[in-house]
Amino acid sequence: MKNYQSKNINSIPYFFSGFWYKDPPKDVSLDGYRIDNVIHYTDLVIGIYFGIVVAALAYFIFKYRASLGHKAEYDHGNSRKNVMFTGGLGLLVFFSVDAVIEKMAFKDLKEAFWNFPKTENVIRIEVMPQQFAWNFCYAGPDNEFGTDDDIIPSQNQMHIPVNTPVVVQIASWDVIHSFYLPNFRIKQDATPGMITALWFQATETGVFDIACAELCGNSHYKMKGFLTVESEEDFQSWLSENTPEESQDDWDDWGDEDEEDTGVPEDWGWAWKEIK
Amino acid sequence: MPVFILQNKDKDLSIIGLVITMASIVMLFGTLISSFYVLKIRMMGQLTLPNIIIQLGIANTVILLISSITFIFSENMFRKNKLNNYSFWLLMTIFGGIFFLIGQMYLWNKMTQLGIGITKGQLSDMFYLMSGAHGLHIIAGIVALIWLQSTSKKLTTNHRVNLVGIFWHFLGFLWFVLFAVILF
Amino acid sequence: MSGHQKSFWTKYIFSTDHKMIAKQFLWLGMFFLFFGGALAMLIRWQLGYPEQPVPLIGNWMWPGDGGIINPDIYNQMFTMHGTIMIFWAITPLLIGAFGNFIIPLQIGAGDMAFPKLNLFSFWTMFLASLILLSSYLLPTGTAAGGWTSYPPLSSPAGGIPGLGQTIWTVALIFMGVSSMMGAINYITTVVRMRAPGMDYFKMPLSVWGLFLTSILNAVFVPVIAAGLVMLLLDQTIGTEFFLAGRLASGDPGDPLLFQHVFWIFGHPEVYILILPVWGIISDLLSVFSRKPAFGYRVTAIAMCTVTALSTLVWGHHMYTTGMSPLLGKSFMFLTLLISIPSAMFFLNWLGTMWKGSIHFTSPMLFSIGVIWVFGLGGLTGLYNATITADIYLHDTMFVVGHFHYTLAASVMFGSFAAIYFWFPRMFGRKLDSRLGKIHFWGTFISINFVFFNMMVLGYAGHHRRIYNPSEYSFLEPLTGLNEWISIFSFLLGVFQVVFLINMVWSMFKKERSPQNPWKATTLEWTMDYPIPHGNFEETPLVHNGPHEYSRPDIKDRDWLGQNERITV
């Protein structure tokens, strides 16, 4: 009841706009286009192949319908020629679709998604989802995690600077969650007792949704965070606002409140795991 | 009414059915064994059992081995048509199976006393799970043996004896593998 | 089989006759198909009209919430929808009912190899159903961890209240035992009880599909059984196989271990469900094109290849868990390899229709429908096999749309085709073809609208298993589409009622079907209705392949039964 707005007025235009195609959320990442590209390439080729199948199907249905009164051809299709033909087409599909997609995917993984930035200028963030909120941790002035000066902003608030690579390490506090940024086309499971990682780079400022993509309990649907992409200066000032000394009051507030529920300690964080 | 029945239907069918069943059982225990290794790698640990437990386990393995041997004796006796001896060795096999189960219970008991009870750690729990699951199959095997014993007067061909024999030796071998997995 | 004394109990309830057991499985499957379908309607109501009272039944079902489905109930619904549809609707319908009915009849056997085992298989299944349904009586409700039931969510540590999750696990273990009994029976029957002359390459492709399914069942159901037993121990006596991190009291267990075990079974499982359909469709296309199945051997071998490959690709369900890059790449490559054999038998389906003489009966319409929906479902699998695309699409409605195309749409169309086709053998009457056409077109249009647009939703970022999509700003443009999908899914439900009416009405109508109404060649059409216990008066001798249609050397008719010799 609470979130429901009368949508009936909206639905008529949506009916037509949604009938064929919906744009994915706006891509604001450096490498998101790669995923869009591979999806679009797949769209195109399977569209062509499915089109051929449907055309053949329609033609056969029309041409060979029994009401024309002809007799079917007695052909088992077991001749070498036929087998070569289907096998050849199978290989053609494999090399024109699968092999190309595979090549694209491996290239993208090598160049982007699995190619973690090695430069000094990266923002490192630790993410620890819990039922049903996102906790974030920044290394703080000493650039080390798991120390006293770690910056832990209020829950569900993640800030990053624009045009800077961000490396995120994820581990879950309780059940399995999945860190999902639709606007960045990425997703990584958060599993308890295991650290996973991903990286991305924002190209535009704004506030974007963080969603949990893996079922994690009854409030899975509202396990929502906000990713604020801002300029370097804004980001630095936000960081200093959130350093432990200055934000002690806020911190205590949510810490106490949370203590009863899940007991996430105030100084959570793990030593940064080096990724090869 | 003439109904289509293959020659030797019963024999062939049962053996094929048994082979498929054993394949399923192998998959079941294969999964448990792989899980054991995965957990072992995951926690970079080792299941170190006290010597007394290992000795008990070896004793139980020997009991099961002996029961397999007594079964071979009973099969031989059946082939020589000495039904009384066959019955005797079959009974020995059943006792062997029951002794094995009692031995396993004792082993569990001893483990609990030594502080490696159930829920004291994943690897020892895997040991309980594997030996427990194996024990359930042993119970099924003992039921089959008892069934064989109860019909021993009526048997005319040896295919039922063969059938139960294959299963019983299989269970013995399975335990041998499980025990080896746990030890090494 | 000698038992011909027929009291009510031995004839209808504890029958060892494979045909009666098939009917029992059929009704069990139909019940759960509609049960799971009703759950789907409620899920769609919530997604189309979030947090509005359910019309008609809402106030009666959930008076405490004013007729609104609350998040707990919603999670329970999609969990039970998935579980029921996969394990309690499709499995009994295709494998239980048609596996039982077709295999002995088509290979010329008197009954299953182990009739009593068959009886136990059904009643174990029935017991499993009762266990599963009993969780509805719990005040805390049923399982709510999704049909995949990943721990730690499905462990007590996950916070799902009550015993629902435990009951789910127990029910599934029983269901697995039942499947294994069936598989042992089917494999033995096919290997050993084929009539003289019935070589492997003279078996109808339906039997091939069911045979391969049974092999996968026998090999991979024990795998999930082991995983479920471990999960059950986690849930009940407090072991920690699948708990890690903070949740583990001592050494860590491994939550991913369950996922691996689940998908080692789970990926073959989707082939377990689809293989019978491939087989049945290959046969039916041949019957109604009056033309031999194109490339019969190629189709059979391609199905075997897919079966083998299906055991090696489970990792593509787990790309986002952080698996090692090398492993991910291998899984992607192996997954893509499946498209070669799939493309081959798919082309053979079209080849069967090519230069045929196509009769548009109800089973044929549904078979053609399978070509369409399986084509789409199979091709869209490519996105999910691709690691990069899957990073974005994993756990979105795209996945939901994709697997509903392959599992729900293809398998349901296959089941409907099978029911329309073999109904005259089961009940002696044909289903009404006019209602059948209404059923086909209604189902075809609405099912495509629903599942295609689910993929559209997923591409637009809509993640799955969420109770209320309006929580997220990036999902706002999808509100209208969600609503329309719901409307079409209700329509889909309505057309299934047409089918149910057709089934019940046709069962009791006076007009009997002729013995071989479709002029099919396979052995199950060679005897009068009702088929007696023991099936064949005398052992059939098989002379021909299963698809001898339109032979030019026969003049008076266009088919030649498998047990007939050509007489000139």
Q: Which homologous superfamily does the CATH classification assign to the domain defined by B28-36+53-183? A: Cytochrome c oxidase, subunit III, four-helix bundle (1.20.120.80)
Cβ distance of B27 and C241 shorter than 8 Å: no
3-state secondary structure C63-109: HHHCCCCCHHHHHHHHHHHHHHHHHHHHHHHHHHHHHHHHHHHHHCC
Q: Which residues of chain C lie closer than 8 angstroms to B13, CB-CB?
A: 113-114, 188, 192-193
Q: Which homologous superfamily does the CATH classification assign to the domain defined by C15-525? A: Cytochrome c oxidase-like, subunit I domain (1.20.210.10)
Report the range of poorest mean pLDDT among B155-159, C22-26, C35-39.
B155-159
Query: Cβ atoms within 10 A of the Cβ of A246, count?
Result: 11
C-alpha to C-alpha distance for C448 and C524, rounded to whole angstroms: 33
User: Measured between CB atoms, which of C71, C376, C460 is closest to A23?
Assistant: C460
Q: C379 to chain A nearest CA, in Å? A: 6
CA angle C227, C228, C232 (to 5 degrees): 120
- Is the bond into C514 cis (omega within 30 degrees of 0)? no
Cβ distance of C187 and B20 shorter than 8 Å: yes
Q: Which residues of chain B lie closer than 8 angstroms to C534, CB-CB?
A: 1, 3-4
A175: which DSSP letter? S
Per-residue pLDDT of chain A (276 residues; tens, 9 = 90+): 334 343 443 444 444 544 555 688 889 999 999 999 999 999 899 899 999 999 999 999 999 998 888 888 898 888 899 899 999 999 998 998 999 999 999 999 999 999 998 888 899 999 999 988 999 999 888 888 888 888 888 889 999 999 999 999 999 998 999 999 999 999 999 999 889 999 999 999 999 999 999 999 999 999 999 999 999 999 999 998 888 764 444 444 444 444 444 577 777 888 888 765
Task: Please indicate whether residue B13 or residue A215 has the higher confidence score (pLDDT).
Answer: A215
Chosen for mutation from B6, B7, B10 (greatest number of chain C CBs closer than 10 Å) is: B6
User: Scanning every residue of chain B, which has its alpha carbon at the shortest distance from the alpha carbon of C541?
Assistant: B4
Binned at pLDDT 50, 70 and 90, residue B82 comes out as: confident
Q: Report the pLDDT value the prediction gives residue A121, as an integer from 0 to 100.
A: 87
Q: At what angle do helices C18-48 and C71-83 cross, to 10 degrees?
A: 150
Q: Which residue has the tokens 């290849």?
A: C305
User: Measured between CB atoms, which of A14, A78, A197 is closest to C296?
Assistant: A78
Distances (CA, A) of C73 to A41, A214, C144: 40, 18, 8
Cβ distance of B39 and C241 shorter than 8 Å: yes
Q: Report the pLDDT value the prediction gives residue B108, as an integer from 0 to 100.
A: 94
Q: Report the pLDDT value the prediction gives residue A59, as an integer from 0 to 100.
A: 96
Q: Which residues of chain C lie closer than 8 angstroms to A208, CB-CB?
A: 474
Q: Which residues of chain C lie closer than 8 angstroms to A10, CB-CB?
A: 479-480
Q: How many CA atoms lie within 13 A of B164 on its CB side?
A: 25
Q: Which residues of chain C lie closer than 8 angstroms to A71, CB-CB?
A: 290, 357, 550, 558
Neighbours of chain A (3+ CB pairs under 8 A): C
CA angle B161, B163, B169 (to 5 degrees): 95
User: Measured between CB atoms, which of B21, B24, B119 is closest to C239?
Assistant: B119
Q: Which residues of chain A lie closer than 8 angstroms to C293, CB-CB?
A: 76-77
Report the range of poorest mean pLDDT among A14-23, A110-119, B66-75, C90-99.
A14-23
Tell which residue, A125, A139, A134, has the closest CA to residue A168.
A125
Q: Which two tokens stand for residue C348?
A: 């053979």
- H helix or E strand, kind and range, residue A208: strand A206-212
C-alpha to C-alpha distance for A38 and A24, rounded to whole angstroms: 14
Report the range of poorest mean pLDDT among A23-27, C258-262, C387-391, C424-428.
A23-27
Strand partners, A212: A179
Q: B128 to chain C nearest CA, in Å? A: 11
C-alpha to C-alpha distance for A133 and A10, rounded to whole angstroms: 31
Cβ distance of B24 and C184 shorter than 8 Å: yes
Chosen for mutation from A175, A216, A222 (greatest number of chain C CBs closer than 10 Å) is: A175
The interface predicted TM-score (ipTM) is 0.92
**What dihedral angle (degrees, nearest 10) is formed by the CA atoms of C133, C135, C137, C140?**
-150
Q: How many CA atoms lie within 13 A of C356 on its CB side?
A: 33
A-C contacts (CB, under 8 Å): 355
Amino acid at B21: T
Q: Report the pLDDT value the prediction gives residue C47, as an integer from 0 to 100.
A: 93
C531: which DSSP letter? P
Q: State mean pLDDT over C164-192.
A: 95
C-alpha to C-alpha distance for C540 and C114, rounded to whole angstroms: 20
User: Scanning every residue of chain A, which has its alpha carbon at the shortest distance from the alpha carbon of C160?
Assistant: A217
Q: Report the pLDDT value the prediction gives residue A140, as an integer from 0 to 100.
A: 83
Q: Are A18 and C456 in contact (CB under 8 A)?
A: yes
Long-range contacts of B42-50 (CB under 8 A, 24+ apart): B42/C252, B42/C253, B42/C254, B42/C257, B43/B122, B43/B123, B43/C251, B43/C252, B43/C253, B45/B123, B45/C251, B46/B123, B47/B123, B47/B124, B47/B126, B47/B127, B47/B182, B49/B111, B49/B116, B49/B127, B49/B182, B49/B183, B50/B114, B50/B116
Q: Per residue in C451-499, pLDDT tens?
A: 999 999 999 999 999 999 988 988 888 888 898 899 999 999 999 999 9
Report the range of poorest mean pLDDT among A228-242, B4-18, C43-57, C183-197.
B4-18
Q: C9 to chain B nearest CA, in Å? A: 23
C-alpha to C-alpha distance for C305 and C206, rounded to whole angstroms: 16
Distances (CA, A) of C231 to C86, C156, C253, C336: 20, 10, 12, 32
Q: A234 to chain C nearest CA, in Å? A: 24
- Is the bond into C536 cis (omega within 30 degrees of 0)? no
Neighbours of chain B (3+ CB pairs under 8 A): C
Question: b or e along B38-50 (b: 16 or more beta carbons within 10 Å of the residue's beta carbon)?
Answer: bbbebbeeebebe
Cβ distance of A94 and C357 shorter than 8 Å: no
C197: left (phi over 0), alpha (psi -120 to 50) or beta: left
Q: State mean pLDDT over C326-341.
A: 93
Cβ distance of A18 and C481 shorter than 8 Å: yes
Cβ distance of B122 and C253 shorter than 8 Å: yes
Q: Are C299 and A82 in contact (CB under 8 A)?
A: no
Contact residues for C113 (Cβ-Cβ < 8 A; gap 6+): B13, B16, B17, C185, C188, C189, C192, C193
User: Measured between CB atoms, which of C220, C237, C261 is closest to B35?
Assistant: C261
User: Scanning every residue of chain C, which has its alpha carbon at the shortest distance from the alpha carbon of B129?
Assistant: C230
Chosen for mutation from C262, C391, C399, C482 (greatest number of chain A CBs closer than 10 Å) is: C391
User: Measured between CB atoms, which of C68, C359, C453 is closest to A1?
Assistant: C68
Strand partners, A225: A210
Q: State mean pLDDT over C524-531.
A: 89
Q: Are C183 and C99 in contact (CB under 8 A)?
A: no
Cβ distance of B45 and C251 shorter than 8 Å: yes
Amino acid at C340: I
Chosen for mutation from A5, A82, A214, A276 (greatest number of chain C CBs closer than 10 Å) is: A214
Q: Report the pLDDT value the prediction gives residue B8, as an integer from 0 to 100.
A: 43
Q: How many CA atoms lie within 13 A of C492 on its CB side?
A: 25
B-C contacts (CB, under 8 Å): 123
Q: Which homologous superfamily does the CATH classification assign to the domain defined by A123-261? A: Cupredoxins -  blue copper proteins (2.60.40.420)
Q: Which residues of chain A lie closer than 8 angstroms to C77, CB-CB?
A: none
- H helix or E strand, kind and range, residue C48: helix C18-48
User: Measured between CB atoms, which of A56, A73, A99 is closest to C350?
Assistant: A56
Q: Report the pLDDT value the prediction gives residue C56, as an integer from 0 to 100.
A: 87
Q: Which residues of chain A lie closer than 8 angstroms to C549, CB-CB?
A: 72, 74
Ordered by start, the domain boundaries in chain B are 28-36+53-183
Does B44 lie at the interface with C, CB-CB under 8 angstroms? Answer: no
User: Scanning every residue of chain B, which has its alpha carbon at the shortest distance from the alpha carbon of C192?
Assistant: B13
Q: Which residues of chain A lie closer than 8 angstroms to C566, CB-CB?
A: none
Helix, strand and coil content of chain C, in percent to the nearest 5, comes to 70, 0, 30
Looking only at the bridges linking them, the beta strands covering A186-190 and A177-181 are antiparallel
User: Scanning every residue of chain B, which has its alpha carbon at the shortest distance from the alpha carbon of C241?
Assistant: B122
Chosen for mutation from C1, C177, C180 (greatest number of chain B CBs closer than 10 Å) is: C180
SS3 state of residue A224: strand
Cβ distance of C193 and B39 shorter than 8 Å: no
Tell which residue, C229, C64, C57, C53, has the closest CA to residue C141.
C64
Chosen for mutation from C246, C259, C459 (greatest number of chain A CBs closer than 10 Å) is: C246
C-alpha to C-alpha distance for C207 and C214, rounded to whole angstroms: 10
Cβ distance of C538 and B2 shorter than 8 Å: yes
Q: State mean pLDDT over B100-104.
A: 96
Q: Which residue has the tokens 């491994």?
A: C254
Does A271 lie at the interface with C, CB-CB under 8 angstroms? Answer: no
- Is the bond into C152 cis (omega within 30 degrees of 0)? yes
Q: Which two tokens stand for residue A154?
A: 């209020």
Does B140 lie at the interface with C, CB-CB under 8 angstroms? Answer: no
Show which of residues 158-217 on chain A sit within 8 Å of chain C, judged by CB atoms.
171-176, 178, 180, 182-183, 185-189, 191-194, 196-197, 208-209, 211-217
Amino acid at A20: W
Ordered by start, the domain boundaries in chain C are 15-525
